Amino acid sequence: MNHTKEIPDSPEGLADYIADELGCPVTIEDANHRILSYSKHETNVDDARTATIMRRKVPERVVNGLWKEGVMGELFESTSPVFVSPIPSIGLGNRIAISVWKNKEVLGFIWAQTEEVKVSTEQLEKLREASRIAARHLIKQRDRKRKNEENVQEFIWQLFNGAIASQTEIDKRARQVDLSLKGHLCVVIFEFTEAITPTVKRHASYLTETLHQTNIAGRMFDDNHLYLLTRTKEETDTATLTQTLIEDFTKKLKERIGFEEVRGVYGKICSTPKELDISYQQALKVLEMKAQHPEPLKHTDNFQDLGVYQFLDEIARLYEKEGFQNETIQAIRTYDHKNNGHMLETLRAFLSHNSNSHQAAKSLHIHTNTLLYRLKRIRDITGADLNDANEKTKLFIDLLIDT
């Protein structure tokens, strides 16, 4: 039986229609859990619905709870209504939910708070037809958003590349694309080890919309990178919020689709959009250094924490220009070559572990006494003073460049 002609063609009317048909409150939301419309039916509503309507968006704790219970995963895979049991920890009662699809894309969801209401097969069919009507409205909303996103992305790329020098011009362009650049700004980059598939892109986009640590002013994808421009209020601890965003993003991507191979980094926290090209270059630098020195920089996610690694390329170029070679390192290398030794490896481990003999020996799988003997031989061979902070620092940097 075809019921489509009975169904109102406005978002508000559609929500009320479904509520009347099922005898319970209904909300219609987009794929990022922003409310498109909700019914006037307000009898016995639960905490999750009340909070959603008040915020015009589903609270993050509710979204997280739905993912944890497997509800969202099912909705992203199914075109049929999904029956949801109560989840008291997030204030959610009984629900029937259905995804709104267009081809292979989820545009949004319809949620009905059913409680003790019995739903017939005919009512479920009307819910399916209502989802097809909802798709029309959500497609229009999506297309408007995409067009604006394209304009925002072009503007942000220009900021990242320092192509707009005038603050006046930046302010003008920001107004044209309706983008607020007030507060602290920062470039965040997520690097995936493989090309981003449609599934990964869908979930990554979803996460950037639903995680609330910072405001995502813009996002762009390429083959294996996701670039974000984040914005936070001036009085907040932007570094901590950005690190939390990176941690939550990578954690939830692993939990929801089993994707583990992703690195998140960020650059300078800027007080003006004119500095975003610096933040962008710094974030790229962190990724480059993490790729070159994966073990020591395993837990580094920002430019400030790179320490001496910030300057390795510049020092290496200076050395190349001047034809410089560290005589101590060359002498140890010559000794190792003649005696099939491990002195250079030992020195590298000792300095990398902040002169901690026990940790260095452990990393080399040798006894501490063996390591101490090798360090004495290094002093004998080169005359190096490994108790001198300046000399140790110089050797540490030159060994990093020599890698």
Q: With bands split at pLDDT 50, 70 and 90, how would you rate the model's confidence at 1?
A: very low
- Assign domain 180-306 to a CATH class: alpha beta
Q: pLDDT value at position 382?
A: 94
Q: pLDDT value at position 202?
A: 84
The answer to whether the CB of 217 falls within 8 A of the CB of 262 is: no
| Residue in 188, 224, 192 with CA at minimum distance from that of residue 208 | 188
Q: pLDDT value at position 363?
A: 94
Q: pLDDT value at position 214?
A: 81
pLDDT at 397 over 50: yes
Q: Of the given ranges (3-17, 38-52, 137-151), which has the lowest mean pLDDT?
A: 3-17
Q: pLDDT value at position 148?
A: 81
Q: pLDDT value at position 6?
A: 67
Q: Tens digits of per-residue pLDDT, 27-84?
A: 999 988 999 999 986 667 888 999 999 888 899 899 989 998 999 999 999 999 999 9
Q: Tens digits of per-residue pLDDT, 117-136?
A: 788 888 899 899 989 999 98
Q: Which position has the higher pLDDT, 236 or 22?
A: 22
Q: With bands split at pLDDT 50, 70 and 90, how would you rate the model's confidence at 2?
A: very low
Instruction: Tell me whether strands 35-38 and 262-266 are parallel, antiparallel or unpaired.
Output: unpaired
Mean pLDDT (the chain, rounded): 90
DSSP letters, 319-374, are HHHHT---HHHHHHHHHHHHHT--HHHHHHHHHHTTT-HHHHHHHHTS-HHHHHHH
Cite the DSSP H helix spans in 258-309.
276-292
Domain-wise residue ranges, the chain? 11-139, 180-306, 313-402
Alpha-carbon distances of 233 from 143, 188, 241, rounded to whole Å: 29, 16, 11
Q: With bands split at pLDDT 50, 70 and 90, how would you rate the model's confidence at 396?
A: very high
The answer to whether the CB of 36 falls within 8 A of the CB of 29 is: yes
- 3.20.20.70, 3.30.70.100, 3.30.70.1230, 3.30.450.40: which CATH number matches 11-139? 3.30.450.40
Residues near 168 by beta carbon (within 8 Å), at least 6 away in sequence: none
195 C-beta neighbours (distance < 10 Å), count: 10
Q: Tens digits of per-residue pLDDT, 304-325?
A: 999 999 999 999 999 999 999 9
Q: With bands split at pLDDT 50, 70 and 90, how would you rate the model's confidence at 193?
A: confident
- What is the percentage of the chain residues whose pLDDT exceeds 70? 97
Span 328-353, average pLDDT = 95
| Residue in 187, 127, 183 with CA at minimum distance from that of residue 162 | 187
